[in-house]
Amino acid sequence: MLMPKKVKFRKLQKGRNRGKASRGIEVSYGTYGMKALEPGWITSRQIEAARVAIVRRVRKHGKMWIRLFPHKPITQKPAETRMGKGKGSPEYWVAVVRPGHIMFEVDGVDVEIAAEAFRIAGHKLPIKTKMVARRDIQEVT
């Protein structure tokens, strides 16, 4: 699982996830990318499940990049605990994703293989996604 080695503060506030992504919106490393169409939180387990799905399709022919990292801790109080007594302890980590953010990239594979890999990986994530190509190549729909 992905998680930070060290953080300045153990517990964060929930925050709001409004607007579109301003950074990480172009395919930088590979030829094809997987773009988020909705805002949401993606857990480290979901990132790992999508990574495994992409690696299984791409195999040794191509290379893959993960463009998101879970920096935000999510806390939970134990089950059947009364209200009060402070905030719960950190349970898992999430990456905050806004529409337009490129989450995964692949290179060295055909369009069909990349599309199939991103389609299967998209089923592992809680948000809608689509495949995009690099700017100097034609747009994929």
Residue spans per domain, the chain: 32-77+90-133
Q: Which CATH number fits domain 32-77+90-133: 3.90.1170.10, 3.40.50.300, 3.40.50.1100, 3.30.365.10?
A: 3.90.1170.10
Whole-structure pTM value? 0.92
d(CA 103, CA 129): 9
Question: Three-state DSSP class for 54?
Answer: helix
* Cβ burial, residue 122 (10 Å; 0-12/13-18/19+): buried
pLDDT for 131 equals 97
pLDDT (mean) for 32-54: 97
Average predicted confidence (pLDDT) for the chain: 94
Residue 11: C-alpha distances to residues 28, 61, 79 (Å): 32, 41, 19
Confidence of residue 136 (pLDDT cuts 50, 70, 90): confident
Confidence of residue 33 (pLDDT cuts 50, 70, 90): very high
Confidence of residue 141 (pLDDT cuts 50, 70, 90): low
Residues constituting the chain = 141
Is the pLDDT at 137 greater than 80? The verdict is: no
pLDDT (mean) for 26-51: 97
d(CA 44, CA 12): 17
pLDDT for 60 equals 85
- Alpha helix segments (H runs only) across 1-91: 44-58
